Structures are given as C-alpha cells and as structure tokens.
Amino acid sequence: MIELDKVAVSFGDRTLFSDVSLILPPGSFHFLTGPSGSGKTTLIRLCSMEMQPNSGQVQLLGKTVSGLSQNNVSAMRQRLGVVHQDSRFIDHLSVAENVALPAAVTGKTGRHTEYQLEELLAWVGLAGQAKNLPPELSGGERQRAALARAVMLSPDVLLADEPTGNVDWDMSIHILELLIELNKLGKTVLCATHDLNLIRQAKSRVSAKVLRLHGGAIEIAGAGL
C-alpha cells in the first residue's frame, strides 16, 4: 500500500534522511513517533506526494510516485486522506462545504453525497457547526473537520500528522477512536504523534505498530513504550 525504498531527503546541505525504507501493508495501523524535528511531518509529506525524495522511491497504491503527472497525482490524492498538523481550509466556504470539497472537485454531488456528508459531520460531532466558517472553529473542531474531509471520499489510506496536536486529552481520545474505527473499516492508517500516552491508550484497542524516527533512521519500537 505504502512503500518507501531507500529514501533520502536533504534540505540544503542538511541531510534529514539518508536511507529510509518502509512498508505499510494494506489495512495496517502504524504510529509514527520521534522527537520534534526528527522528520515525522516530512515522512508524511513524502507519502502524501507533497514532496519528492532526493533519491530513492515512494510507492503508493501500487504506483511509483516520481514522474507522475499533475493530474495523476490529483487522481491518487482522491484515494488518499490527509490530516495535516495545521489543517488548511477555504475560509470563505462553510465547514460543510469544506468537508464536502473532495466530493465537489471530483463531481460527486447529489443525494448520496449529501447523505454521506451529514453522516460524516455527525460522526465527528460537527453537525451543529456545519454552516460555520472554518475560522470560527476551535482547534479540536478544526482537526475533526479535517478528519471528516480526509475520509469524505472513503479513501484507502489515511495519513494523519499530529491529529491531536492542539486538543485536550478527551478530544485526543475521541480523535483516536475515530482513527481506530476507520482502520476497522479496512483503511491503512499512518498517524504521526509525539504523544506516547496516546499510543499506549491505542495499544489496547488496535494492533498498531509503532515506528520511531531517530537520527534520520526508522526503527520499529519495542514493547518498552
């Protein structure tokens, strides 16, 4: 489903990754952890095709990412849900319109989509804020709106970068539950977080693997968490 093969990334003359390889099988749940600045966001961005590695290959949904045309990248994105650390919205469109955006840009409109949107807004607990504008949402509400938008087209893969970054503990647990629910529906989930408590909390509910980024290398974290 997601495969990184000998990926190297550097910014200027600073090397972040020199040789990272990784396989995330379909339907798996992985946490990605590591100290701040270790490259979690960068790894997520590689997987969401927002950046290209300096060398090595990224395989996504059976396709090699490098050399894809813009329109092919767009088509791949429709099968990929991404929740960013700082979720961006179109601020003059309502929350509901923002959540429905992936459907709108692919021409999926009509009865079924409406129904799906209502379900989704209720699922993330934003039914009451559907008509609000994104700047009117709290941090946790933004993250949940971003999550709802990410799964609008029922993607095969969900990438979440610190989805509980700026929310309180109860809300973190709520968002975690939503992610676990999606994984139970068969979606491949990769969730970057530096919050070890959250990972411990998840371990009892889902068979998640924990990847740790450290010094530009990736390792499977032991049971010692």
Ligand X SMILES: Nc1ncnc2c1ncn2[C@@H]1O[C@H](COP(=O)(O)OP(=O)(O)O)[C@@H](O)[C@H]1O
Which positions lie near ligand X, rule CB under 6 A? Answer: 11, 16, 34, 36-42
User: Which structure tokens are listed for 21?
Assistant: 């390889």
Question: Binding of another protein at residue 133 (CB under 8 A)?
Answer: no
Print the binding letters for residues 46-65 with another protein: x by CB under 8 A, - otherwise.
Answer: --x-x---------------
Would you call 185 exposed, middle or buried from its count of C-beta atoms within 10 A (0-12, 13-18, 19+)?
exposed
Nearer to ligand X, 134 or 165 (CB): 165
Three-class SS state of 66 = coil
Give the shortest CB-147-to-another protein separation in angstroms: 13
What is the helix, strand, coil percentage profile of the chain, to 5? 35, 25, 35
The entry of Mg ion, another protein, ligand X, none near residue 42 (CB within 5 to 8 angstroms by kind) is ligand X
Which one of ligand X, Mg ion, another protein, none is in contact with 11 (Cβ closer than 5 to 8 A by kind)? ligand X
CB 35 within 8 A of CB 196: no
Helix, strand, or coil (residue 173): helix
Question: Radius of gyration over alpha carbons of the chain, in Å?
Answer: 17
Residues of this chain that bind another protein (CB under 8 A): 48, 50, 70-71, 73-78, 80, 82, 88-90, 92-94, 96-97, 100-102, 104-106, 109-110, 113-114, 117-118, 127, 130-131, 149, 152-153
